[in-house]
Amino acid sequence: MKLTRVLLVAFTFAFLASCTNDDNENASKGNYDNGVFILNEGNSSGGSVSFLGDDLTTFKQDVYGAENPGDLAGKYLQNIFFDGDKAYVIAGGSNVINVVNRYTFKLLAKIETGLITPRYGVVKNGKAYVTNANTYAYANPATGNTDDFVAVIDLATNKVESKINLNATANRIVLEGDKLYITEPYNSDKVLVVNTVTKALETPITVGSSANTMEVKNGILYVLA
């Protein structure tokens, strides 16, 4: 699908990652089949994931802790993304991605190498593309705004196989066709464009300052600032 235009929308909203089963089967696949996961960032002591059922009555706190006693999801939970029956919970403060069954939330694996302050992820053809903030500007003024990268993860092995240097800051990420669209939120009016085939940066899109959340629908990229 070709992006025909970019629409900039000036408002903010809270995002809940849906875990609703899309295959229309009546049989439940687990305790967290029909509803949404709510990511609670937490602090240096750790974050948590809550579950709200489609009936808006069922509510469970800290489903990761309940299903994986003795294991911590990590510090500063940042994002959760999905691929088939798996969910990937990013803990940016711990440099880890927890791989769980999206219906039972049982831990399957941890991705713990090749990540430096991971932020947001998307999936295409067995690969995950995860933005990494690397060092922040306050910690490293010389390179903190230019050392961010996208980690390319082989989901068959749960290993980072390569990285795409961005020479910019990176935050939110969406996928459309073979292109990654990445917001560069600080002191920039651009959305970065990465070709997943060539793993190269393409001409960025000018949208206005402080771009944040994005959504693609019917060939239009909506950018919130």
- 194-217 pLDDT, tens per residue? 999 999 999 999 998 888 899 999
Which token pair is 19?
């875990």
Q: How far apart are CA 150 and CA 115, in angstroms?
A: 9
Long-range contact pairs involving 203-207 (C-beta distance under 8 Å, separation at least 24): 205/6, 205/181, 207/6, 207/8
Tens of pLDDT along 161-196? Answer: 999 999 999 999 999 999 999 999 877 889 999 999
pLDDT at position 21: 52
Question: What Å distances lie between residue 182 and 9, 14, 39, 97, CA to CA?
Answer: 16, 19, 21, 19
- Let me know: does 207 contact 192? Beta carbons within 8 Å: no
Tens of pLDDT along 88-119? Answer: 999 999 999 999 999 999 999 999 999 999 99
- Let me know: does 201 contact 180? Beta carbons within 8 Å: no
- Let me know: does 103 contact 85? Beta carbons within 8 Å: yes
Q: Whose structure tokens read 């206005």?
A: 208
Residues written for the chain: 225
Q: Is the pLDDT of residue 51 over 90?
A: yes
Model pTM score = 0.86
